[in-house]
Amino acid sequence: MLTWKAFSGQATRLAAGLVAAGVRPGDRVAIISGTRFEWVRADYAIWLAGAVTVPIYETSSPAQASWILRDSGAVAAFVADTRLERLVADAAPDSLRHTWKLTDELSATGATWQRWSGVGWT
């Protein structure tokens, strides 16, 4: 069982990872995945970082994903798996600087950045 406090900590560390990676308030960050816990955590982290979530269906074609990524100006994307990672790599516009799997350890980067910068969200 996951408590709201534990979830908040996970989302906060992930948000700090986004900020450490250069995501700024107002930036667009795509999530390409089916419905799952990690999608919600990434969505909250994007919000905490002041960025905007750009949802893309996991069933989107490469042309659809490319149009959404380009139209939104997404600077980063979370993907559910290797197949979707390849889809984003093929469809990625020049604006896309980062692609992470939802299970990557961006949270560990965030925790380190929080300790170093002294910034914390509650």
Q: Where are the alpha helices (DSSP H) in 49-105?
A: 62-72, 82-91
**Count of CB atoms within 10 A of residue 65's CB?**
22
Supply the CATH number for residue 58's domain: 3.40.50.980
Residues 72-110: pLDDT tens digits? 999 999 999 999 999 999 888 788 999 999 987 676 655
Domain membership of residue 42 as a residue range:
7-114
The answer to whether position 45 is within a domain reads yes
* Global pTM value: 0.86
Q: How confident is the model at residue 42, as a pLDDT? A: 96
Strand runs (DSSP E) across 33-102, as ranges? 52-56, 76-79, 98-101
Provide the domain count of the chain: 1
Instruction: Please report the pLDDT score of residue 108 as a whole number.
Output: 60
User: In angstroms, rounded to a whole number, what is the distance separating the alpha carbons of residues 37 and 43?
Assistant: 10
C-beta of residue 29 within 8 angstroms of C-beta of residue 51: yes
Give, for 29, the enclosing helix (H) or strand (E): strand 28-32
Residue 83 lies inside a defined structural domain of this protein: yes
Q: One-letter amino acid identity for 38? A: E
Tokens of 35: 């419905």
Does residue 25 lie in a domain region? yes
